[in-house]
Amino acid sequence: MKDREIFAGLMSGTSLDGVDTALASFQGELPETIATSFTPFPSDLKYKLHHLAVADSWRPDELFAAESQLTLLYAEAINDLLQSADIDRSRIHAIGCHGQTIRHRPAINWPYTCQLGNPSLLAEKTGITVIADFRRRDIAAGGEGAPLAPAFHMHVLQHRFPNCAVVNIGGIANITQWSEKANAVVGFDCGPGNILMDAWCSQAFQQNCDHGGQIARTGSINHALLQEMKKEPFFSLSAPKSTGRELFNHDWLQANLQKTASVDDRDILATLTELTAQTICEALNTNTLTHLFVCGGGAHNLFLMERLSRHLPGILVKGTDSAGIDPDFMEAMAFAWLAMRTLARLPGNIPAVTRAQGERILGAIYPA
C-alpha cells in the first residue's frame, strides 16, 4: 500500500441517483481498484439538481446552495470511504471530481458546459488536492467537452481486445469503439441510456428504475412510438456529438407520446428500452467488432442486455466486470485516472472523439 500512488474519482451522472466513489492505483498494466462506494442522493438534493438541469433560468442563491450541498455530499463520500477502507488521506494524491452536469451546450455560438461542485470547498473538507473542471478546456480547444471516458476505456481494454466497443449506459449512453484494422478510435454520446426509462418508471410505476428490466419484459414494443422517437434529429447527426438532459427529458418523452395513439404503460417502458438498445447498436460499426462491453447502471438491466445481444448477432455482449472493471465504477475510475494524468501534465482528451483541435491537459488543480 505504501508504494502505491492512490487517486480518488467522484462521479455523479444524469441518472441523478447518487455519487460513485472509487480509490484506485494506475501503476500496473491494469488499474487496481482499491475501494469503492455508492452514496445515494437525498431526495431534496435530487429534486434540486433535477430542477436546475431542466429549468430555463436559475436564481443564484438556489444554484449555489445546491452546489454547496452537493459538494458536502462529495466530501462525505470521500471521507467515509477512506475510513471504511482504513486508508490515511495523506496517501491520496488527488481527487478527480467530474461534478454534476446541469447544462451542456457545446454546439451554440458561445459554447459552454456547467458542472456543479465546488472544488475549493471539497479540498477544504477532505484535506486532499482536487482536480475538477475537466470539460471546459476541451471546449475551449473547439471540442465537445464530452465524452472524456473513452481515453480510459482504451487504456484499460485496447491491448486485450483490439476490435472492441464500450458503451456506458448511464442517464445518457455513450460509446467508445476502436479497431485494429482502422487504427483509430471514435467516441460519442449516442442517445438516451436510462434517463427516459427511469423517468417513465417514476411516473407510471412509482419506482426509481426498472430493476433488471422486469417491467419492460412484460410489455410489448410499440413500433409506431419507436419510429416517432427515432425521428429525433440528434440520432442522425454525425459523430463527434454529445447530449444530455437538456434534450432527452420528460418533456421530450411527453411530446412523442402525444404524437401516437394511447399506449399501455408497460408497452411504453418496453419501447423506451428498445429505443436505447437500437440507438446504441445502430451507432456501432459492426464490421470488425468482436466485443461490446457495457458499464453503468444499464449493465444491470438484463432485458436491455438481451436486446443488445439480439441486435448484435455474433458479437459478445458482456458487462465490463468480465474484463476486470466493475461496471458501476468505470466512470469514477476514469476521473481518478484523468486526475492522475493532469498532475503528470499528460493530455486527457482524444481529439478524434471530441473534435478538439489537439490533445490538451484537462482540469484545474485545487491544492489541499
Q: Which residues are annotated as a binding site?
A: 13-20
C-alpha cell at 75: 466530501
CB 198 within 8 A of CB 301: no
C-alpha cell at 150: 473513452
> For 163-247, where are the alpha helices, taking DSSP H only?
195-200, 214-217, 223-229
What's the half-sphere exposure (Cβ side, CA atoms, 13 Å) at 199?
19
User: Residue 243 to residues 105, 113, 188, 192, 327: CA-CA distances in angstroms?
Assistant: 8, 11, 9, 9, 21
C-alpha cell at 162: 483490439
- As separate numbers, helices (DSSP H) first and strands (DSSP E) second, the chain gives 13, 13
CB 34 within 8 A of CB 25: yes
Give the residue ranges of the annotated binding site for ATP: 13-20
User: Residue 345, exposed/middle/buried by CB under 10 A (0-12, 13-18, 19+)?
Assistant: exposed
Report the SS3 class of residue 316: strand
Report the SS3 class of residue 326: coil
CB under 8 Å to 31, separation ≥6 — which residues?
A: 24, 25, 156, 325, 333, 337
CB 111 within 8 A of CB 105: yes
Q: Which helix (H) or strand (E) holds 105?
A: strand 100-105
Report the SS3 class of residue 290: coil
Longest dimension (CA), the chain: 63
* Strand pairing class (172-179; 164-169): antiparallel
CB under 8 Å to 40, separation ≥6 — which residues?
A: 17, 18
